[in-house]
Chains A and B, each alone.
Chain A
């Protein structure tokens, strides 16, 4: 046990390096993105579903919509408060949320996801890539 000091020092350095992502992140975690709503979205107050639901489940909702519209020809969505919506990403979602860079991209970039919605669906106003 002559090398006790060296071993312990080495262990501490090793653990510190291993845990680098944790303590590095603790000091300066990227702040959660702040979303900018368009005037139209603000005026509407609530989305198709409550904001919390939209934040966590909008992708499932869109998937359901796609399936229903394409496969079952059912295009009218009636939400919990009885309001009707045309189930269309291009014409309903992107009509209110026409600020892709300030709305969609903010969270998607933060979460490091790269959905390919806009390869086909045209954001409004059209963004030049």
Chain B
């Protein structure tokens, strides 16, 4: 072949293109091979699973403050909830007791029977099926987990705007106005604490369900609290709902709470 100026430029151009492409190809090749793809992320075999976790609290078995205290303490202890805060406005709580009038304002008649009037009700995050707090959150820090219906918090993302607290009709969320660490009675090293400036609430013991344990309050309740899958007709929760008259908090708001009360 006769070499010409045109021919020379053509070959030079193609060579330059080839040389330029090599580092790009190398980079792609490295990505595929360098980092072995065998790393896997799995769910534990022991994990308890449900479509929507729900709770049935039998208030007939929990008639006094003395009966509720061990349940509340069990929760607050394992989750490092700061219970020593003296200022009521700074209070942080995951599960607490409430009178009937406050827990069920829509259902409170002017004249109630004395038993209901005197019974303390255990209240906690309702893990609503239609949670208003998650819609209010601007950062996606709180969300409804698709896999099990728990309304969870990612504390790393919480910016402390407290929109969720305003949105929650049950007052289930608390804000850390102060660094909570000095106010924790006994620190559980296996569970993180929170920091100043984030909101916190009950997590239905997601960390315990993941290892096959029932929530701490259920365990501490001696059978007064049942826990199970709302969409499994055979679950303990559904069996109780089938045989007992139950009420939920502020049902009229349409948030569909997952905590039921046998009165």
Contact = CB atoms under 8 A, between A and B. Distances in A.
B210 A80 contact: no
A74 B43 contact: yes
Contacts of B44: 75-76
Interface size band for A: 20 to 34
A116 B195 contact: yes
Main SS of the interface on chain B? Answer: loop
A78 B43 CA distance: 11
B60 to A, nearest CB: 33
Contact of B43 (A66, A76, A90, A122): A76
B145 A74 contact: no
A79 B37 CA distance: 9
A74 B192 contact: no
Given A79-B39, A124-B189, A73 B210 contact: yes
Interface string A70-103: 1111111111101000010111000000000000
Given A66-B154, A73-B145, A120 B187 contact: no
A75 B154 contact: no
Nearest to B36: A80
B189 A90 contact: yes
Interface of A: 49, 64, 66, 68, 70-80, 82, 87, 89-91, 116, 119-122, 124, 126
